[in-house]
Structure 1
Amino acid sequence: MTSPLAIHENMTIYQARAQKEQLLAALATTGKLELDLSGVAEMDTAGLQLLMLLKREVQQQGKHLTIVGHSPTVQRVLDFCNLAGVFGDPMLLCAQA
């Protein structure tokens, strides 16, 4: 069964410690984690490192991670760092109101 988790705040150094605990706790409860990043308005390298940590943990534990709802900010960071392919999830643009 897939467990959804949505991040509705910035993924920056200011939220990194709490988000690390949140992400790892969510991963501990499931074999398949679906991470919705559509609500992320700001992301820095700390946020990117959290995603990379989560990806590494998923691989080491033999679990599955799907990232959905990439916000434009998340898309820009992944594209800028040439890491979109690392996560292997299609990045669909959400319609802006």
Structure 2
Amino acid sequence: MSTRELRRIALDGELTIMTAAEQKERLLAALQGSGGLRVDLSGVEELDTAGLQILLLARREAARLDLPFELGAPAGNVAAVLALAGLAAEEE
């Protein structure tokens, strides 16, 4: 694992089928040249299966690159969806 700090990226609003393609590119680009990624989900108000797939894709890509990947600060329904999917979020 790299000794560089995790790159932090904050997502907000909807992480749904309507924003999935844009967020996919954003997350994958953030992984490139980083020491890993921490995704702040505190501003995400809605998460559907397309959004969940994007988070899983980013996590898988981080693993392929041997980089850490963390999800942080989900609230309400987003935290519940992540828990159901087995994606534990890190505490701040």
Q: Tell me if both proteins adopt one fold, taking TM over 0.5 as the criterion.
A: yes
Q: 1:91, CA displacement in angstroms?
A: 5.5
Per the alignment, residue 66 of structure 2 pairs with 62
Instruction: Give the alignment's TM-score, normalised by structure 2.
Output: 0.85
Higher helix share: 1
For these two proteins, the number of residue pairs brought into alignment is: 88
Using a 3 Å threshold, how does the CA distance of structure 1 residues 70 and 54 change in structure 2: closer, same or farther? same
Which of the numbers 25, 31, 50 marks the counterpart of 1:27? Answer: 31
Q: Partner letter of residue 21 of structure 1? A: E
| 2:87 is the counterpart of 1:84 | yes
TM-score between the two structures when normalised by the length of structure 1: 0.81
- Structure 1 spans left out of the alignment, 5+ residues: 93-97
Identity of aligned residues (%): 38
Structure 2: 5+ residue runs without aligned partners?
Answer: none
Runs (4+) off by over 2 Å:
89-92
